[in-house]
Structure 1
């Protein structure tokens, strides 16, 4: 997605970060200005209006809070995203409460920045409703999808908690963002926590925060996700992975909208809207004694679902073209032509990984076959590659495809990583050996590129 006629001010005292962010935003069509500190940023804000300000939290001549105040003074509509290497800075939490659009910790993944920037632009120029819905990349025109989105829009006008039950890869987090962005809380923080990705012994601290000295290694106090989401929306992703022993405390926090940090007795009240998502049947988990019934009913006030891609085949062509245009915009190139027989193959495939699988497939095809028509032959070659049996040892070196100049290295690396994992049927150890990297690096790359962790075990 290209954001035309949109301006962003990047404020950071580290030249390398300014340059990296400038390149990333420029590639997506933004008009970019940079500043090395608070004073320079304030001068720029006095002389022109920006749709977005991305500011470091700590700089030699001040902090991101001062930049945010200067941006607010210049234009009340300017969105501010704060970046920091200090994830527990109390002032940053306070900034979120006072209207910062988002708060990201370093090192920053460009995908995170792009997602936040996309949400800024959706608020500046909301997508019109019509036959094709493209809100937060919820692309499609199937009646089932549109019904789900209409129900989600109605839910957005309330403060009622929502439970989204759908298969992996259907876009549950995108639907949650859609609800947040369509709600009166849109200018307040959207905070997400993946209950499956946080180790069980750290999840309570992640949700509710902790006091200094609450446990070994707690050298400073830390605000939890509940506190950071004050005024906005808290997404509890993969809620079915919530440990049973933590569920009573979560239930109380949802009922009372208050909690205690680990190591404290003082309660903290918050004003939040909670959206929970799951790819498992929570009602069955309740029957099996794996999930508390009272917590389930507390979450399931407004139930929503998203249809799997195999049940909305009329959306496959729209999605394929959307992804082709999205990836082309990153290199300022033209979207690759998709032949009729390629589309036929796409529609015939079952897509067990849903929209995520289709998006990853299109990214891989556009990265490995730039500037050519994607046709049935290339589709078949790709799936023949994926169908190869797992290797028991490091395979002989195969000819390496060389992409055309201008294709981002990140896209090539992601596509190569995913292809290698598909070749080994998701065996991380074998894939790491073939790529000459450690298993720890492999895990980090899977997380960095947003590949489904359970698929690659």
Structure 2
């Protein structure tokens, strides 16, 4: 049984505190609560936490202040910010103050659970050191051996690195490993999703702004480059940068200095640039959608992260490592994969790569009590996206003819099926007056499977 994790929840709304406590408790995380900054500071002085969740607005100050204090005084405690829906500026400000992530109100429970898992993974990796990060780049295949050897080399240099690969292969993990194994390991690693920042805010977020430089600029504000000073700036989904911003980014990289919006002078910055995208950047350059000069500046060294289907020899060992991590979190023994399960995994194309493998194994462990996982325990998709979604729709009482084929693309399928499952389960609960045993029987699934579904879908 792994040691109990702990979290501090800071919010002045009682309902939010209770929701967060209930959700984290079900994940095996012990929770303390505080309703203001003063209470939070007292709790932090008395206890050590594996995670802190804090609201943006508190009765006696801003949650941003708490984020900054925790980053300085308790660097081993990851802190996430709870922001108002759509408040991108607050979210980015929290990230720059030291928050590892943020979640918007009203709180989406699946998003929250993913955030908590990610935070605890990061916190555990920090304690164990850079080797823990590197060890997750598992693989004995020639492609992965070469990748690790290349990472070890580029980590010792300061050259910009471009990380190419499909969604789910672990591009950010590669970037974090480069940072953790290099000379900048003790300085900030600042990841930014280039597609998540509105274009009108992009220059301000990257380079900062001066007080009064535009409406709403009530104070000087540092940008992401300044936040990453001495460390690494990871530009994820760099292909999403608009062309005007590409020009400004190119100049900042070339001159090693930035000019805040509204400033008269430039400010030197010492930042290593790592970038990544799942798109074909060279093709975008040929089409005139990405600047060739910027491409060559960020692509000084290119690392190609192989998709899972091209290193199938790693599947058994990789699955064992993932199951070991999951089983430890669940406080149970590590199951083994039956021969038919290994065969099924080898024959599956894994469009979602390692991320999808982790989701498949997490679901299998949650639904199986045995020591051996068979192919049927994996519940791998069969018959293509369209037929599977039609079958799920029929099971939930939805007319398959109402399904737009565009909605059954692989990227949209998981969330689409979850909505169908949620509707079917909620209907069955109502029909059985919320008797979970009868609900499970009516759906033709086990009580354990129903309990897993309720937790996964956030149905309370």
Asked if residue 116 in structure 1 is aligned to residue 119 in structure 2, the reply is yes
Partner of 1:415: none
Shift of 1:339: 1.8
Q: 1:198-277 maps to which residues of 2 (within 5 A)?
A: 198=197, 203-208=202-207, 224-262=223-261, 267-277=266-276
Work out the CA distance in 2 between the residues paired with 1:225 and 1:356.
27
408, 413, 433: which one pairs with 1:424?
Answer: 408
Displacement, 1:340?
Answer: 1.5
1:166 corresponds to which residue? 165
Q: Label 1:55 to 1:379 Cα distance change in 2 as closer, same or farther (>3 A).
A: closer
**Corresponding residue for 1:446?**
none
Identify the residue that residue 177 of structure 1 maps to in structure 2: 176
Aligned length: 408
1:43 maps to 2:46: no
Q: Which residue of 2 aligns with 1:371?
A: 369
Separation (CA, whole Å) in 1 of partners of 2:22 and 2:190: 26
**Residues 377 and 42 (structure 1), Cα distance of their counterparts in 2 relative to 1, 3 Å cut:** closer
Deviation of the 1:49 alpha carbon = 4.0
The 8 Å contact of residues 130 and 177 in structure 2, kept in 1 or not, is answered as no
Q: For 1:338 and 1:228, how far apart are their aligned partners in 2?
A: 45
Could you tell me which runs of 5 or more consecutive residues in structure 1 were left unpaired when the two chains were aligned.
401-419, 439-448, 450-457
Provide the C-alpha distance between the structure 2 equivalents of 1:333 and 1:269, rounded to a whole number of angstroms. Answer: 52
1:63-74 equivalences under 5 Å are: 63-64=62-63, 67=66
Residues 1:20 and 1:268: Cα distance change in structure 2 (over 3 Å): farther
Distance 1:116 1:23 in 2: 18
SS of equivalent to 1:112: helix
The answer to whether the 8 A contact 1:236-1:274 is kept is: yes
Write out aligned runs for 1:386-405 (5 A).
Answer: 386=385, 388=387, 395-398=393-396
Change (3 A) 1:37 1:390: closer
CA separation of 1:340 and 1:270: change in aligned 2, threshold 3 A: same
1:83 is matched with 81
1:79 aligns to what SS in structure 2? coil
Q: Does structure 1 residue 147 correspond to structure 2 residue 146? A: yes
- TM-score (norm: length of structure 2): 0.70
When residues 428 and 122 of structure 1 are mapped into structure 2, their CA distance, relative to the original with a 3 A threshold, is closer
CA contact (8 A) 1:93 1:223 kept: no
Would the alpha carbon gap of residues 57 and 284 (structure 1) be closer, same or farther in structure 2, given more than 3 Å must change? closer
TM-score by structure 1 length? 0.70
Cα deviation 1:238-277 (Å, max 9, x = unaligned): 2233333332111012222333455655545444322101
**Unaligned regions of 5+ residues in structure 2, if any?**
399-403, 424-455
Asked if 1:302 is matched to 2:286, the reply is no
User: What residue number does 1:340 align with?
Assistant: 339
How far apart are 1:203 and its partner, in Å? 4.4
Distance 1:202 1:431, change over 3 A: same
Describe the shift of the 1:176–1:3 C-alpha distance in structure 2 as closer, same or farther (beyond 3 A).
farther
Kept in 2: contact 1:386–1:422 (CA 8 A): no
State whether residues 28 and 329 of structure 1, in contact with CA within 8 Å, keep that contact through their aligned partners in structure 2.
Answer: no
Instruction: Give the CA deviation at 1:42.
Output: 3.1
Please say which of residues 49-58 and 171-180 is displaced more in the overlay: 49-58
Sort the Cα spacing of 1:117 and 1:187 in 2 relative to 1 into closer, same or farther, 3 A: farther
Match of 1:125 in 2: 128
Q: CA deviation at 1:196?
A: 4.0
- Give distance in 2, aligned partners of 1:246 and 1:50: 39
